[in-house]
Copies of this chain bind each other. A is one copy, B any other.
Amino acid sequence: MGNTVLIYSRFPKTMMARIAERFELIDSEGRPPRDAFGADQLGDVRAIITAGGERLGAEAMDAMPGLGAIICYGTGYDGVDRAAAAARNIAIGHSPAANAAAVADLAMTLLLALIRRLLPADAYVRNGGWAAGKASPRAVPPLALTGRRVGVYGMGEIGKKIAARVSSFETEVGYHSRPRHEVPYAYHDSLEALVDWCDVLMIAVRAGADTHHIIDAAMLRRLGHSGVVINIARGSVIDQAALVAALQDHAIAGAGLDVFEVEPLVPDGLTALSNVVLTPHIGGHTAEAHIAMQDCVIENLTAFFAGRALRYPVG
């Protein structure tokens, strides 16, 4: 039996370079393992590296009979069928908190750009509208961030870092999460209560069956006409069709989205809107966060191949 590590998701080669120095990698480049490799090669696979949000079920696991560890590159592991892995005695590891600062920074980037209408402002300068004295996107000034009520949904590492950042903008911060935390922000005992209270909803909750489409049409109506929603968690948390309708009808004021229901597909209904800011799932995408995530992968694989428990197991 070999000691091969299969790259299950499609990752840029640069992200895997440091890991490739230490382990024997084969890269399926996002194809199903059986399409990419023969049974011999798959038989040598003892661990895989995957993007945690990508669907990984029993069938893929069974393609690699020697599989003992699923290592998620990043914090999330919502795509992994945990029951199927447990039934096969496959350990699951991830990179907790490694990218939390990067993701929280992107949440703030999306919020500020949305509120201050950065995209039309930059376009107005670049296309000469300002110089020509054309009708200005500045005609009606936007509401300030200062003084607004910001609701943070989820108070893990990312939620805490978002709350710390947005507090410094002289906002009022509240939160909801399943366990109550020792944090200096007002706790709301349901998501509904948080959404009723806040103007800005920052979604930082872990994705799963219990949060699937939890932000639906009714919740968006609660957020209200001047409300904005920022999602850097997972696309599955929001009913995307309901969100598009709410944005088109101005039931809410705007959205900043780094994640979508079926990535990389973003519906035309979203890309046509001017009251949204859209990024291609780059929340955890900084040089430093990648190094930290690679360190977690390397530590997890090192422990696994030494026969020890994973260094960062999914809890």
Q: Which of the 9-residue segments A45-53, A61-69, A75-83, A134-142 touches chain B?
A: A134-142
Contact A101 B266 (CB under 8 A): no
CA distance A128 to B264 in the complex (A): 9
How many interface residues does chain A have, given as a range? 35 or more
Is A131 close to B, CB under 8 A?
Answer: yes
Is A298 close to B, CB under 8 A?
Answer: no
Query: Distance (Å) between the CB of A256 and the closest chain B CB?
Result: 10
Contact A288 B101 (CB under 8 A): no
* Contact flag A144-B289 (CB < 8 Å), given A112-B112, A118-B277, A168-B165: yes
| Least CB separation from A143: chain B residue | B287
Is A280 close to B, CB under 8 A?
Answer: yes
Is A124 close to B, CB under 8 A?
Answer: yes
Contact B141 A280 (CB under 8 A): no
Other-chain contact of A288, B147, B168, B290 (Cβ < 8 Å): B147
Contact A140 B14 (CB under 8 A): yes
What 7 pairs between A and B have smallest CB-CB spacing? Answer: A168-B168, A144-B286, A109-B112, A125-B278, A130-B264, A144-B288, A130-B280
Extra 9 A-B pairs, beta carbons < 8 Å, given A12-B138, A142-B286: A105-B145, A109-B118, A113-B113, A122-B277, A131-B264, A131-B266, A141-B289, A143-B286, A167-B168
Residues of A within 8 A of B (CB): 12, 14, 101-102, 105-106, 108-109, 112-113, 116, 118-119, 121-122, 124-126, 128, 130-131, 133, 136, 138-147, 164-165, 167-170, 264-266, 271, 277-280, 282, 285-290
